[in-house]
Structure 1
């Protein structure tokens, strides 16, 4: 009767409020993006960069970069190689990885460039790779989590996990957690995670990590994964104070991945998109400079500045319980596909 009518009215009003909130966030994000995330935004921000920040040599330091054969990852690897660092390229495709290594070595004059073949969506293999890396190498100074996935139809990995989540969230978690002991024994250890401004429109959702309950939208899943990366960064920074953690937004960048995953956006925005080198700038700054580590660990950066991980008036903040629930689910999933000690050793 009347009580049911009130309940239906309340539910309808609540749904309308959620739609309005989502619309507000999307509009604010796009306006902010047109002002800050484009090439013009980078050129404006770069007027305030301190050039001497990057007057550093990193000879003797080692850097691991995932997704390093193209786009932001390759430009990051090239910049670090030019500074003398030892660079470990973690890539899925052998031919493209070898071409990238040859180009980076030629342009930098640095032969200390190594290839490791790994698909981050295959969580079991991420475990195996990280454990083998720790046995082979005595140090790792900087891990750069750059590889990403945005498939627009729901796909499952060989471990039975949704592919975007497995690559962007669980793969990043497993690789980072497994390498932390090695990094803690290394000099000036850092973890830099390449997130996205798209995460600003999403609140952490702990109830459906693998998008099983709603219509699959690859762009929104990707944005949710990128929010998850920022939350991970904040939690791991508190748990591991010896390492400097940071996440960053590279802006809207003209990369092969964007062209493939978001063809309409790429076609519409291409004249305004940043170059991969511009997109990599803050990654390099966070990985190399003393100025970066003068900031607290666990922050979110854009154009060499720590910025809020939330839009103004946005309802995207997570409760402590939600964060704990998310991290617990990550750990459970990670451990469920962890190889046995014997299989890792062989």
Structure 2
């Protein structure tokens, strides 16, 4: 299989890349940090692609490079993203939590769509149980005028949006198998956990990147199967999503709003 994996230079992305390479898959390693991205590409025998999701021009260039390199794409892992303690705008003038976690993966996925459909690809979005406390407001995705609370509500909304995108993609493109999953609390650089003074204690009570990557690996390589649009928690189907994430009209509204936002920033 040819697998494109974003956020592959560290954390669960790196762990998934190493495991998938051991299975013999060909990997496109996508990251922002040049040193780490090329290092993981070397470790996996894959090809490094650099893109900063703070810039949609980078995302569109990444899509062009991937299309020029691979005649087919069997799986796309939309794993890049994160949480920001302080509100900030991207180079495109979009709130960064929304752009990094939602808008940029949407632009990448839709830019690759014809190739993904031809390949009958699997598309996986890294979600989070944080989705339970983050309602999606397509008229105000940056949460202007709302309390930031160290970014948790914005992150929760972004992760709910990722789950909704997986569900809407499943509805719009029957040729594609689309999923979202929660990796669990992982001891990585995400949210600064690896830099915390409590990092040694934290590592005792939360999972390793390898364990957090297990569901991502299974969804990308096809060993973990379910109806397209399914959300997974710990390799199990989860049916406890918020009503908004289960509402087809809300999912379609999100997709349409992202198409408009992406077009305005083209």
TM-score (norm 2): 0.92
Deviation at 1:320, TM superposition (A): 4.5
Cα distance in 2 between the residues matched to 1:143 and 1:288: 10
- What's the counterpart of residue 174 of structure 1? 107
Q: Deviations over 1:157-215 (max 9, x none)?
A: 111111110110001111111112112222x5101111111112223333310121212
**Residue 209, structure 1, aligned to residue 141, structure 2:** yes
In 2, are the aligned partners of 1:233 and 1:298 still within 8 Å (CA)? yes
**Alignment partner, residue 277 of structure 1:** 210
- 1:326 alignment partner in structure 2: 254
SS at match of 2:64: helix
User: For 1:192, which of 120, 124, 130 is the aligned residue?
Assistant: 124
5 Å-filtered alignment, 1:1-346, equals 61-102=1-42, 104-105=43-44, 111=45, 113-186=46-119, 188-217=120-149, 218-259=151-192, 263=196, 269-290=202-223, 292-293=224-225, 295-310=226-241, 316=244, 319-338=247-266
Distance 1:225 1:180, change over 3 A: same
CA–CA separation in structure 2 for the residues paired with 1:319 and 1:175:
24
Shift, 1:271, TM fit: 1.9
Q: Is the 8 A contact 2:168 2:252 kept in 1?
A: no
Deviation at residue 86 of structure 1 after TM alignment: 0.5
Query: For the residues of structure 2 that align with 1:117 and 1:212, how far apart are their CA atoms?
Result: 30
Unmatched runs of 5 consecutive residues or more in structure 1: 1-60, 106-110, 339-346
Count of residues in correspondence between the two structures: 265
CA contact (8 A) 1:245 1:299 kept: yes
Structure 1 or 2: larger helix share?
1
RMSD: 2.2
TM normalised by structure 1 equals 0.71
User: Aligned partners of 2:109 and 2:245: how far apart in 1?
Assistant: 24
More deviation, 81-90/210-219: 210-219
TM-superposed CA distance for 1:78, in Å, is 0.5
